[in-house]
Structure 1
Amino acid sequence: MSGFIAITIAWGIKILGALAIYIIGKWAAKLLTNLFRKMLERSNTDVTLVKFLGDLVYFGLIVLVVIAALGTLGVNTTSFAAIIGAAGLAVGLALQGNIANFGAGVVLLFLRPFKVGDFVEAGGAVGVVDAIGIFNTTFKTGDNRVIIVPNSNIIGGNITNYSREAIRRIDLVIGVGYEDDLKLVKSTLEEILNNHPKVLKDPAPAVALAELADSSVNFNVRPWVKSEDYWGVRSELLETIKTTFDEKGINIPYPQMDVHVDQKAA
């Protein structure tokens, strides 16, 4: 009986010790995780990354606390750690695609080639960035479609951010007929640009002869606008150029072929 009591007391002490380690360890894990999150927030780290890394740190600390508590009970923690490691390796191999997306997501959140609200072209998608997640990024298109792209696809290709700079240049190529007055054409285009309220004065818009093409004389028309005005101004300029050219009798040619029949040969 005395031996049973001794064993019971010994195991009772071990269980109490394990519970104490778990309770104190869990409290310490929460405290350290909160400190870690606050440190990331002070460094202006993205909210998504703060939450994910905080959860990852907390999970890792809890695993260490559980191993320490089991060690107090006399469990062979070396074997336990080996089992966890093997399980982690198996899960890692099964989810290696997601791991690649996670790594790419961390790179996106740290390097920040774009932010929510930017209009970008990346990973085969073109649209406004709606959300940047750990595994994928969500885009919204102009016709309100939602495109979800794995982060590894974005990091593995070119990223074009149309919203990053405050101003953008509109590049238009306007063709006129060979019989048209080139000085009139150039002055008309310059007048259209100078009169548009959303075309910036600095940098100044430019109009220059580009090439003598097969069926037209082409001008480069390059005004600068605010990035958010790009598409609206581009459409308005094209409409104004067409109507103004019609009023002034300036031709906008289209590809054509003239066929001459030799009557003598016929």
Structure 2
Amino acid sequence: MKESLMQFWSDHSQTIITLGYNLLLAVAILIASSLIAKTVRKAIANTRTRLDKTLIPLFSTIASYAVYVIGGVFILDIFGVNTASLIALVGAAGLAIGLALKDTLSNIAAGIMLLIVRPFRADDFIEFGGTQGTVREINLFTTILETTDGLYIASPNNMLWGNNIKNFTRNGKRRMDIIVGISYSDSINEGFAVLKKIAESESRLLAEPAPQVMVASMIDSAVNIQLRVWAKNEDYWSAYWDLNKRVKEAIEVAGLTIPFPQRTLHIVGEQNAQAIQKNARKD
């Protein structure tokens, strides 16, 4: 047995040494690729440039994958693999995998298109398909949102790309409509004067576009008058909540009535009912 091993070593020692050297070199390349990929991801994540926050996760992922691919090519070259033939094989395999994972690839394509067209950026508040949230991240497959009540939403990129996207942040300002009902017996002009005075005294509202007051609708029990004003995004909700409170209080102070829904009932007596039935028979 010992002589057989010695003979095997004598015949194949050079091959074994070369193979062991190549294996050690391959392991070293894998370790180096892993370290370089992590370093590249951290460097991109910590970069202080004008690069949008939504692009950083995607670029860091692509860069790390590229490092691993380059390391894999070096390893294949060490073992003498014909990379040209391998590329053709990978291409054929990639076609089959692409057909099997068409939905996943569509998410990647949609993510790329979202980053090119840029309908939203990091920290924008958006709505699509009934979902609302603040954009935190766009990666290769999903877009990460945070809802107003702190929930985490990971939505496939093709869901966003295939829907209308409403961006509440992009224009920097938003319009708010404050509607209050007054009685039909009240003066509409007095109601307008109350709303205009409130708009003029609120510093968080924009001068342009100018505030507007109008009759929004006339319903069964009230005339709905509306205050239409604009505010910056950061002031929108605080101003909206405060204005609703102030409008209610100011309407009451001005002596105007905010009516409740009401219905008038006409009670018909027995004699009248008989007369109505008699007339109905004649007809």
**TM-score, with length taken from structure 2:** 0.72
1:237 is aligned to 2:246: no
Aligned-pair RMSD on alpha carbons? 3.9
Give the alignment partner of residue 160 of structure 1, picking from 157, 166, 183: 166
List runs of 5+ in structure 1 lacking aligned partners: 1-6
Counterpart mapping for 1:1-266 below 5 A: 44=51, 46-62=55-71, 64-65=73-74, 73=80, 79-263=85-269, 264-266=271-273
% identity of equivalent residues: 33
- Measure the CA separation in 1 of the matches of 2:148 and 2:122: 15
Cα shift readout 1:141-181 (whole Å, capped 9, x = no counterpart): 12111111111101100111111112111123332211111
The aligned amino acid for 1:174 is V
- Measure the CA separation in 2 of the matches of 1:231 and 1:149: 26
Cα shift readout 1:175-216 (whole Å, capped 9, x = no counterpart): 221111111110001111111221122222111223333332
- Measure the CA separation in 2 of the matches of 1:258 and 1:91: 71
- Measure the CA separation in 2 of the matches of 1:79 and 1:185: 81
- What secondary structure, in the 3-state scheme, does the structure 2 residue paired with 1:171 have? strand
**TM-score, with length taken from structure 1:** 0.76
- Measure the CA separation in 1 of the matches of 2:83 and 2:202: 75
List runs of 5+ in structure 2 lacking aligned partners: 1-11, 274-283
Matched residue, 2:281: none
**Off by >6 Å, runs of 4+ in structure 1:** 7-10
Q: Which structure has the greater CA radius of gyration?
A: 2
- What secondary structure, in the 3-state scheme, does the structure 1 residue paired with 2:265 have? coil
Cα shift readout 1:99-129 (whole Å, capped 9, x = no counterpart): 1111111122222211121111125421111
Is the Cα contact below 8 Å between 1:101 and 1:152 reproduced in 2? Answer: yes
Cα shift readout 1:204-258 (whole Å, capped 9, x = no counterpart): 2111223333332222311111111111211111111111122223222343321
Give the direction of change, closer, same or farther, for the CA distance of 1:42–1:188 in structure 2 (3 Å limit): closer
The aligned amino acid for 1:55 is S
Is the Cα contact below 8 Å between 1:198 and 1:233 reproduced in 2? Answer: yes
Per the TM alignment, residue 138 of structure 1 is displaced from its structure 2 partner at its CA by: 1.4
- Measure the CA separation in 2 of the matches of 1:132 and 1:217: 47
- What secondary structure, in the 3-state scheme, does the structure 2 residue paired with 1:87 have? helix
